[in-house]
Structure 1
Amino acid sequence: MNNQVQEIASNSVHLPERFIRKQDEEYANITNAGESFSPDIPIIDVSLLLTSSESELDKLKSAIVNWGCFQAINHGIEASFLDKVREISKLFFNLPAEEKKKCLREEDDVEGYGNDMVLSDQQVLDWTDRLYLTVVPHHQQKLQFWPQNPTHFR
């Protein structure tokens, strides 16, 4: 599926069925049977992982199994750097669709600009466009997918 969310939203009156999750499926993939759902994304203290903290390792495992994601704190990345990444990302995603399509991912690859890879006709898709780039190791970077605009992206 090469239709980006921005295009679908501007050309459609109704949300395509492929993006609609059934009510009973809503939290099926992020909770285990018998566990209550918490609306708070798990927070993992990376500095504690470095000390082999058993409780933090258990929290990490639970976050991965039940949520598939977590918020990392005490990771050592400067807030100013993260702010810059957010700013440049917003600039990229606010570009016109034609500009973003210059970074369009290939059909059977995750790298580049696009949306969900379609693995089956029954797959429910996320209402999102993404830019996936390999940063390290450097020799695996596919620079043809790296945006030229915004100019400070690279």
Structure 2
Amino acid sequence: MAGALPADQEAEVLLSKRVQEMVLYGELPPALYICRDGEDTDDHTGSSMVSQIPIIDLSLVSPSVTSTETSIQELEKLRSALSSWGCFQAVGHGIPSSILDEIRKVAKEFFKQPMAEKKKIAKTVTEFEGQPLDWSDRLVLEVYPQDKRNFKLWPEKPESFRDILEDYAKKIKMLTEVTSKVFAKALNLDQKCFQDELDQATLTARLNYYFKICN
């Protein structure tokens, strides 16, 4: 009788499937998708920690804003967030909520398509590194620099997908440029000191669709 597959081979088999397929057929999550209590994972953000993540109003600290007591306080708050957390939640970022709604909507429409349609742009199995697998399907696309784009992997359906992703990517790139200047300002550096490094940086869009766990 054949023995169980090694973890890396088992992961390759699972990753070659789509979570949506397992959900449709009522399959229980395989062991490699399960993170048990006490296991160390890359995700240490419990709900209590998420609620404490610093919130920064970028409209108060953008390079074009005149310094006021409020902006100075917000800049100090940003400096503290960068040194203690390494991340923050941005508000006042200037990206209209309508664009965020559109990218969420078109992503959901893509993932709800028949499997045959989504498999037209399926990539090869990614490398397994031993961590529990994510109970989700995902679409990862390079959007900047523009010469890195592989349009063979950009979905043709929904028909609005490419235009909406293009618009969203432009807004995110602009926001990246603004935040790089804000970071420099918070660190008392020249506002352009990070810009040269970011000009050719790869900007990747990752769309995730999480499914309910099978009963």
TM-score normalized by the length of structure 1: 0.72
What are the within-5 Å matches in structure 2 for residues 68-147 of structure 1?
71-107=89-125, 117-120=126-129, 122-147=130-155
- Counterpart CA distance in 2 for 1:140 and 1:25 is 37
Deviation at 1:61, TM superposition (A): 4.8
| Residue number among 40, 56, 61 corresponding to 2:51 in the alignment | 40
Label 1:2 to 1:71 Cα distance change in 2 as closer, same or farther (>3 A): farther
2:69 aligned with 1:55, yes or no?
no
Aligned residue for 2:143, secondary structure, equals coil
Matched, 1:14 2:28: yes
Contact 2:56-2:77 at 8 Å conserved across structures: no
In structure 2, the partner of 1:150 is 158
AA aligned to 1:23 is: D
Q: Counterpart amino acid of 1:46?
A: L
* CA displacement 1:52-110 (0-9 Å, x = unmatched): 8132132245444xxxx754311111111111111111110111111111121233xxx
Query: How far did 1:21 drift?
Result: 0.2
- The amino acid across from 2:151 in the alignment is L
Task: Tell me: higher relative CO, structure 1 or 2? Use CA pairs within 8 A at least 6 residues apart.
Answer: 2
Structure with the larger helix share = 2
Match of 2:18 in 1: 4
Letter in 1 for 2:76: E
Distance verdict in 2 for CA 1:27–1:70, change over 3 Å: farther
Extract unaligned runs of 5+ from structure 2: 1-14, 64-71, 163-215
Stretches of structure 1 that go unaligned for 5 or more consecutive residues are 32-36, 108-116
**Alignment partner of 2:93: what SS?**
coil
Shift of 1:27: 7.0
Aligned length: 136
State the Cα distance separating 1:48 from its structure 2 match.
4.8
Q: Which AA in structure 1 matches 2:51?
A: D
Where does residue 113 of structure 1 map in the other structure? none
Task: Give the distance between the partners of 1:128 and 1:70, measured in 2 at CA.
Answer: 24
Distance 1:48 1:135 in 2: 29
* C-alpha contact (below 8 Å) 1:5/1:128 kept by paired residues: yes
Q: 1:71 to 1:2 in 2, by over 3 A?
A: farther
Q: Percent identity?
A: 36
DSSP-derived class of the 1:133 partner = strand
Alpha-carbon distance between aligned partners in 2 of 1:70 and 1:96, rounded to the nearest angstrom = 37
